[in-house]
Amino acid sequence: MLIKVEHLSHAHDGRPALHGVGFTAQEGERLVLLGCNGSGKSTLLKIIDGLIPPDAGVVTYDDRPVDRAALADRPWRLRFRREVVLLFQDPAAMLFHPTVAEEVAFGPRQLGLDEPEARAVAWIERAGLAALRDRSPHALSRGEQQKVALASLLVLEPRLLLLDEPTASLDPRSTGWLVDLLQDLETTTVVATHSLSLAPELGSRCLVLGEDHTLLHDGPVPRPDADMDLLRRANLVHRHRHDHDGHVHRHDHVHDWE
């Protein structure tokens, strides 16, 4: 088992963000984390990445709890940072180098992989970012920033990839590029999204966080035709008003489902 999350609860300044969340993931599994705005997706990913210590509960990575002691253990921490990476919801937060090339080479250099520059060049090519190589990451569009941030994580060839709404700023072609890229990887992934239509492409198993910050569902990706009840409880559907020939009627509607 690669990750085990048990009874996780957390509040930001007294405002609840997660409540009693638990699940496990095997090596190689692809999980989608679905939930409405404010349900706690980003918080959960940051806790798994060891960035926020939870108020209660434990995250275990590769049989060792990700706690203060583990993170203080230098060799383990180095391994953890090399193997577990997080794409932030706001990719700009991750970019702090003068050029894209240096940005991508940072992780491998910092975490002691050999030939960081060569790895960076290879991943910049693979991610189709060659034209942006010498540009400043901060002058790029949000979608471009997202790709650069992703390349600077994939270059580490991580074992666990945590992605916080990776398609939020991508156009359809770039979204396709990302989906293909993820499907080619063997890496264990947890992808947060509120796009129901994209969820089946991002993973085979789905965790749904509710508005009350609890885990509502752990299983197959919900379908609007069969799982309306769950989707309604998770606040992922919208009550829609229609006007047909003078008759106004309302029904539930999943907005991004094509």
Query: What residues make contact with ligand ATP under the rule CB under 6 A?
Result: 12-13, 15, 17, 35, 37-43, 89, 194
User: What is the nearest approach in angstroms of ligand ATP to the Cβ of residue 43?
Assistant: 3
Query: Residue 193's closest CA among 233, 10, 69, 201?
Result: 201
H/E run at residue 219: strand 215-220
Applying CB under 8 A, the residues found at the interface with other proteins are 46, 49, 51-52, 74, 77-78, 81-82, 85-86, 88, 90, 92-98, 106-107, 110-112, 138-139, 152-153
| Contacted by 244, from other proteins, ligand ATP, Mg ion, none: CB < 5 to 8 Å by type | none
When asked if residue 9 is in the footprint of Mg ion (CB under 5 A), the reply is no
What amino acid is encoded at 193 in this protein? Answer: T
* Both tokens assigned to 121: 């060049």
C-alpha dist (Å) from residue 144 to 23, 79, 150, 175: 33, 29, 10, 12
Distance (Å, whole) CA 20 – CA 107: 33
User: What is the nearest approach in angstroms of ligand ATP to the Cβ of residue 211?
Assistant: 10
Query: Residue 147's closest CA among 107, 163, 82, 189?
Result: 163
Q: Is 124 within 8 Å of 133 (Cβ atoms)? A: yes
Query: Residue 20's closest CA among 31, 11, 29?
Result: 11
- Residues 132-151 close enough to bind Mg ion by CB under 5 A: none
Q: Quick check: helix, strand or coil at residue 20? A: strand
Distance (Å, whole) CA 237 – CA 230: 10
User: What is the nearest approach in angstroms of Mg ion to the Cβ of residue 36?
Assistant: 10
**Closer residue to ligand ATP in complex, CB, 137/210:** 210
When asked if residue 195 is in the footprint of Mg ion (CB under 5 A), the reply is no
Distance (Å, whole) CA 60 – CA 138: 35
**Closer residue to ligand ATP in complex, CB, 66/234:** 234
User: What is the nearest approach in angstroms of ligand ATP to the Cβ of residue 114?
Assistant: 36
User: What is the nearest approach in angstroms of other proteins to the Cβ of residue 192?
Assistant: 15
**Closer residue to ligand ATP in complex, CB, 8/127:** 8
User: What is the nearest approach in angstroms of ligand ATP to the Cβ of residue 10?
Assistant: 8
When asked if residue 42 is in the footprint of Mg ion (CB under 5 A), the reply is yes
**Closer residue to ligand ATP in complex, CB, 35/203:** 35
- Residues 74-103 close enough to bind Mg ion by CB under 5 A: 89
What amino acid is encoded at 141 in this protein? Answer: S
**Closer residue to ligand ATP in complex, CB, 129/190:** 190
Distance (Å, whole) CA 132 – CA 125: 10
**Closer residue to ligand ATP in complex, CB, 89/169:** 89
Q: Is 173 left (phi over 0), alpha (psi -120 to 50) or beta?
A: alpha
Q: Contact residues for Mg ion (CB under 5 A)?
A: 41-42, 89
